[in-house]
Amino acid sequence: MTASKCSSLTGKPYGIERVCRVWGYPRSSFYLNRQPREINQFKHGKRGPKPKLSDEQILKLIREDLANSPFIGEGHRKVWARLKFGKGIRVGRNRVQRLMRENNLLSPRRARRDANPHQGEIITAAPDQMWGADGTKVFTVKEGWAWLFAAVDHFNAECVGYHICKKGDRFNALEPISQGVKEHFGFLSQDSARGLRLRIDSGSQYVSEHFQNQIKFWGISASFAFIEQPQTNGVIERFFRTLKEQIIYGRVYETIEDLKVAVDKFVKLYNQEWRIERLGFLSPKQARENYLTGLAKCA
């Protein structure tokens, strides 16, 4: 029996809605099967205006950008930023992400993580208001473990100083702070960096009497990160992660001097060219220069 004919049992006609309800068959499927075959096989394309560049052209640009980038393991956001702001190519970020995902070009290090429960704010509105300082260790073949101390501005994530050494004591931990104060405040006399806060953890180097007395002499106040909450010192932690992804993981350094050469080259490149999303994809140096230019115009 079909819905368009009478019932063979009762001799009465029944409506399509009633028949489909009894059969448990969707009416949409019934009408679809009644359409001509050429209509059923028609597939709608993407609606709206066609993009100027095809997926193949965008993919080629993405591959060229990744090949020419001085960094490794970058995600789709930085590739999109260089295409849009560096080359003036108007392309959607989601489209870049899709093409990189489909062609296995996304960074293998980018993994999903649980939501961070920390709700605090550690980013400053101007440079040289808060710096973050910390140390990490890197292994060398001939000289064993080496210490890498660094200081990073919380405003623009700029590395204001770094120091590589064999012994990770309080004196060496002070070296990046000394470099940054001399570079951005002009001198190392008493109260030369008054008003600056230094975000540090409770490591033995940073809680030592020598370290605390020295930063007080420069006018710097200590701002300790919360215990077991490394995100409260997240700016320097993120800098170390970037540095290790770019020049440490997958590489072997024979001596501490070899490590110094690599870190020195990276820090200069990072400050000049590493694009940061929260800064509008500006590099640390560009963000500082833009801020200072804005102050000059206001004056």
Q: Answer yes or no: pTM beyond 0.85.
A: no
**Angle at Cα 274 formed by Cα 218 and Cα 194, nearest 5°?**
15
3-state secondary structure of 136: strand
Cα–Cα separations (whole angstroms), residue 55 to 49, 83, 141, 151: 15, 14, 46, 42
Convert the pLDDT of each residue in 161-208 to its tens digit: 999 999 999 999 999 999 999 999 999 999 999 999 999 999 999 999
Distance of CA 104 to the CA centre of its chain: 19
**Cα–Cα dist 135/171, whole Å:** 12
Give the DSSP letter of residue 69: -
3-state secondary structure of 150: strand
Whether the Cβ atoms of residue 135 and residue 168 lie closer than 8 Å to each other: yes
Mean pLDDT of 208-230: 92
Query: Which residues pair with residue 70 across a beta bridge?
Result: none
Mean pLDDT of 5-12: 74
Burial state string for 143-153 with b = 16 or more CB within 10 A and e = fewer than 16: eeebbbbbbbb
pLDDT-derived band at 2 (thresholds 50, 70, 90) equals: very low
143: which 2 tokens? 């000289």
Whether the Cβ atoms of residue 242 and residue 43 lie closer than 8 Å to each other: no
Question: Among 9-18, 90-99, 254-263, where is mean pLDDT lowest?
Answer: 9-18
- Class of domain 130-298 (CATH, top level): alpha beta
3-state secondary structure of 258: helix
**Cα–Cα dist 84/91, whole Å:** 7
Residue 119: CA count within 13 A, CB half-sphere: 0
Whether the Cβ atoms of residue 160 and residue 153 lie closer than 8 Å to each other: yes
Above 70 in pLDDT, residue 43? Answer: no
Find tokens 């110094």 and name the residue: 260
Convert the pLDDT of each residue in 109-119 to its tens digit: 665 555 555 56
Question: Among 40-49, 61-70, 192-201, 260-269, where is mean pLDDT lowest?
Answer: 40-49
What are the backbone angles phi and psi of residue 126, rounded to the nearest 5°? -150, 155
**Angle at Cα 132 formed by Cα 128 and Cα 137, nearest 5°?**
140
Cα–Cα separations (whole angstroms), residue 21 to 8, 12, 24, 28, 291: 18, 17, 5, 12, 69
Domain ranges, ordered by start, for the chain: 1-43, 55-102, 130-298
Mean pLDDT of 120-136: 92
Find tokens 């953890």 and name the residue: 201
Whether the Cβ atoms of residue 80 and residue 93 lie closer than 8 Å to each other: yes
- For the chain, where are the alpha helices, taking DSSP H only? 16-23, 27-34, 37-40, 55-68, 76-81, 93-102, 170-185, 204-207, 209-217, 234-243, 256-273, 284-298
**Cα–Cα dist 293/145, whole Å:** 42
Average pLDDT of the chain to the nearest whole number: 89
**Angle at Cα 279 formed by Cα 276 and Cα 285, nearest 5°?**
75
